Structure 1
Amino acid sequence: MTVRKFAVTDIQLERTPGQQADVFVGNAVDQRHGGPVTIGYGRYAPDQSIDEQIVVDDVMVVLEGWVSVTSGAGTVTAGPGEIVYMPKGSTVTIRSHAQGALTAYVTHPHWQEAHPATKQR
């Protein structure tokens, strides 16, 4: 794989697998590209909430807006330029605030290979 640059406009966003909320994700790099991690973007409409069992180590960088992530350890709220780490095995609720949010993520290993909702496809 060569050095590449991405913008959210380069990525086709799709509804988060297994969710009904207005939360959309799109991978820029994943298993199809031969690298060890998945890199992509997430877009959260205002006041959305999703419950997830984290099946890979997941790093979320907030680019715009605000998100709160609640787990058994409590709630963290992150805004532009802040990073949330969700370790494999965590059960979380991710909630966007009134302005919605744009995030970037990196997962290891590839989340599509590990996520139960994508295995049904």
Structure 2
Amino acid sequence: MEDRPPLSKGELQVARVLWDCGESTVRQIHESLPAERAMEFATVQTYLRRLEQKGYATAKLVGRTRHYRARVRPQTVIRQTVGELVDQLFDGDAMPLVRHLVEDRSLSSAEISQLRQMVDELDQGTSE
């Protein structure tokens, strides 16, 4: 796995829109941002350039317009970000994070069932 610098909060917001929209121009990304996360056009442009510089996106010139495309899948960014969080806050031990999520995030019955199923599948994998 390629080692990339972490994303800032703003870069991650723009990356999410890029993942959802696919190949897009700055204007398309700017117009696709949720209203509660609106930012200036120039800010979106800056974040897209940073995503490209950090290796999370690629850009090509079509006429006079740059078209951006994600270079990294969302799951890769999630894995890297959570890994860094676990290392920084919990010294590499994931259990305190899991405990926090289970106890403080008010899981629904359906989510608890999914969690039980995941644990059962992990149990079966280690007992075979």
Mark yes or no: TM-score above 0.5: no
TM-score band by shorter chain is: under 0.3
**Higher share in helix:** 2
Q: Which is greater in Rg? A: 2
Structure showing greater relative contact order (alpha-carbon pairs closer than 8 Å, 6 or more residues apart): 1
Structure 1 length as normaliser, TM-score? Answer: 0.26
